[in-house]
Chain A
Amino acid sequence: MKLSEARPGQRLCVIGFGRLGRAQLKLMDLGIVPGVEIKLLSRFLLGGPLLLQVGRTHVAIGRRIADGILVEEVSGKD
């Protein structure tokens, strides 16, 4: 599914990218690459940004970028 469709609190594994162009590099520089586990912390209202936990950092990304990140839910304990 798209990251923008995930629920807050879900742990997710990045599996690929849609058409993001250069923005994909920016995400990768922040450690968001296929195979990495991230957690969706919250979604701001009215189509606002999504807040992710990547490793130990928090990263906010706009909705349009979240549409271009493909993820899978990771099951198992936190």
Chain B
Amino acid sequence: MQVPTKIALVGQPNVGKSVIMNNLTGVGAVVSNYAGTTVEITRGYASIAGKIVEVIDTPGTYTLHSDTEEQRVTQRILLEEDIDLIINVIDCVNLARSLYLTFQLLDFGIPMIVAANQADRAAKLGIIVDASRLQEELGVPVVLMVATANEGTEELRKLIRYGGAVGRPIRFSEMLESTISRLEGYIRQTTYSGGHSSRTLAIHLLEHDTVDEGILSSHPELEKLIERLQTEMGADDPLCPNCFRGCAFCPARGSDHPVFLTCIERTNQAREVASRVTRNTHRDRVDFMERLEEVLDHPVAGILAMAFLAWISFRLITLFLGYAEDVVEWAMAPIGSGIVRIVQALLPEGALRSMLMDSLPEGLVIPFSVVFPAMLAVYVFIALLEDTGLLARFAVALDRLAALFGLPGQSVIPVLLGFGCRAPAVMATRILPDRRSRFIATALIGVTVPCAATLGILAGVVVQFQANAFAIGATIIVAFVLIGLGLSLLTAGEDTPLVLEVPPLRLPVLRNVIAKTAFRMKSFFLHVLPLLVVVNVALRALLYTNVLARLGALDPVTVRFFGVSGPAFAGVLITVVQRYLAPMVLLNLPLTAREATIASSMVALSFPCLPVTILSIKELGLSDTAKVFGIALLAPVIAALVLNLIL
């Protein structure tokens, strides 16, 4: 066997693929304790026996149908990427369920290694997995791992060197097997060469959905095959001809529908294999985390506890921000005066010099004194929610509330991530089950959720002009609710009910919290810092040259209807580029407290910034993104009209 050149890490959600990815490649894939952390593939490179090998981390998927985005993404990797080794990561604690996907992967006929992860948690729960017996059952090498402690990584590397093995697919009952081989016969008569083994394709046809539209359209021979099957197989065939495509589950057939038969047999065999290769030992005590889970899962105590946690976190964050700003400002002061001295030394006296002396230090200090602490606090908070498993529990507890907005409970996850940065939040809407909820969630995130940077600078505005923070907060919440209710009423479609795995409660791994927070903040600061400095200088230039003052001509209209000056109104529009730039504009203008309140509220509810726009076009398409923009245009204008009347 040769060292492989392209490896895919494939497995069910939340089993530890991304941790293993990081152990092998050091690439820094995001790791969190909920199903659906990885929504897009991550590529990295590992050095195995002196050879550079490409490793692909895939979104976790319970199965390989093509109902959802993560299933399609993973399936396409296997079909189109010339993968020469699959590392199937499974969870020792949930062996039976994990093997369900393993069996599907075996059908592909690609060499494979099974990484049986979370052996530590399994041992704690009294579950011992016998790797060598599992290896015999599957016909592929198996390695026990504790990825978070980097245990088993060396052995995995060694196995990778030998390239894994093509295992033994499971055999279904005679009835199913004979149908499968009949279908395989048909498939061999076509010219199809799209990466499916004929067995996988036959089973996929049997399970009806599964040849995803993208694959179908690039392989017209498959279209023809399906048409042929539909004409040649009669209605009394065990395979209803409609099943090959678009069958709405003929009500007459119930759960013996062929789509379900394969699932049932696969599940049953997975359970049998799992019970043959595991041993249960006696556990003497239920650990603290499990007790805590019981409390949090209680319908009354749990919700009270979570509300309390939310309140405490909010208090802690505000407390931290209060202290941090002073500390950072104090620490930054020498840097600011240093810059002033350098500018003084380099430039001759004049307008340019005094402008740069004001704007450069300010452009540097503001990001650090207000944005940095806000981001740090929000990101640490998010990381803790993610890693403990509380985030998924909030999703369950808030399911009913979210339903009012036409959203399933999972949408709590992307919305909350939006308080950090809205770009990854829009990506995370992929975990939502249908298009409608993805649209509503993206609109809510794009228009009403202020990211940490925006919140930080808005807090600066509130302090500088003594604006009414309560009014701003209330405006955001009211807008969120109204837009959510409105969209849920306006968009057609039944909401898809919740089906969500609730991860175990875990103690957050400090190293992971730090790494994740640092990673998220780094990418932000690399882009933001230069931008803020440039924009601040540009703004000052506009102020000095009186260009901004000309916008004062708009005053009669803007003051009358919206209660803010023309320049402030124009400044709000800059949110199209980056939302956090708009409050920077406000900081540079002479505003009254009332103006600052209204303008800040408008900033908090306006256009999605450029990165979010690009992502929503990618995720939702142009026309839905245009709708989001429509809402983003109306929301701040209406908010300003209303605030101008009531404040």
Contact = CB atoms under 8 A, between A and B. Distances in A.
A36 B263 CA distance: 13
Interface in A41-73: 41-49, 51, 54-65
A35 B94 contact: no
Nearest to B433: A26
6 contacts: A28-B264, A43-B299, A56-B94, A57-B93, A61-B498, A63-B497
A45 B401 CA distance: 11
Contacts of B502: 51, 57-60
Contacts of A22: 67, 249
A25 B67 CA distance: 10
Contact of A29 (B62, B127, B300): B62
B65 interface: yes
B388 to A, nearest CB: 14
Contacts of B399: 44, 48-49, 60, 62
Contacts of B504: 58
A76 interface: no
Interface string B88-125: 00000110110010000000000000000000000001
B263 A28 contact: yes
Given A59-B500, A65-B499, 14 more contacts: A16-B255, A31-B97, A31-B267, A33-B263, A41-B297, A42-B302, A44-B396, A48-B299, A49-B399, A55-B96, A57-B94, A58-B504, A61-B499, A62-B399
A59 B93 CA distance: 15
Given A29-B63, A56-B94, A60-B502, A45 B267 contact: no
Contacts of B497: 23, 61-65
Chain A to chain B: the 8 pairs with minimum beta-carbon distance, closest first: A62-B497, A58-B502, A29-B63, A29-B62, A62-B498, A28-B263, A60-B396, A64-B497
Interface in B290-326: 293, 297-300, 302-303
Contact of A25 (B94, B259, B302, B395): B259
B97 A55 contact: yes
Interface string B266-277: 011001000000
Given A21-B248, A47-B400, A62 B499 contact: yes
A51 B498 CA distance: 11
Contacts, number: 128
Interface in B492-524: 496-502, 504
Contacts of A43: 299
Given A25-B259, A49-B409, A60-B409, A30 B297 contact: no
B405 to A, nearest CB: 15
Contacts of A30: 62, 97, 499, 501
B256 to A, nearest CB: 10
B396 A51 contact: yes
Nearest to A16: B255
Contact of A58 (B96, B263, B297): B297
Nearest to B121: A56
A27 interface: yes
A65 B399 CA distance: 14
A10 interface: no
A43 B302 CA distance: 11
B571 interface: no
B264 A59 contact: no
Nearest to B64: A29
B334 to A, nearest CB: 53
B13 to A, nearest CB: 10
Contacts of A65: 497-499
A38 to B, nearest CB: 13
B19 interface: no
B350 interface: no
B426 interface: no
A27 B499 contact: yes
B455 interface: no
A66 to B, nearest CB: 9
Nearest to B262: A28
A14 B259 CA distance: 18
A24 B256 CA distance: 12
B498 to A, nearest CB: 4
A77 interface: no
- A23, A51, A58 — which one has the most chain B CB atoms within 10 A of its CB? A58
Given A21-B249, A44-B397, A44-B400, A60 B260 contact: no
Contacts of B400: 44-49
Contacts of B409: 49, 60
Contacts of B496: 23
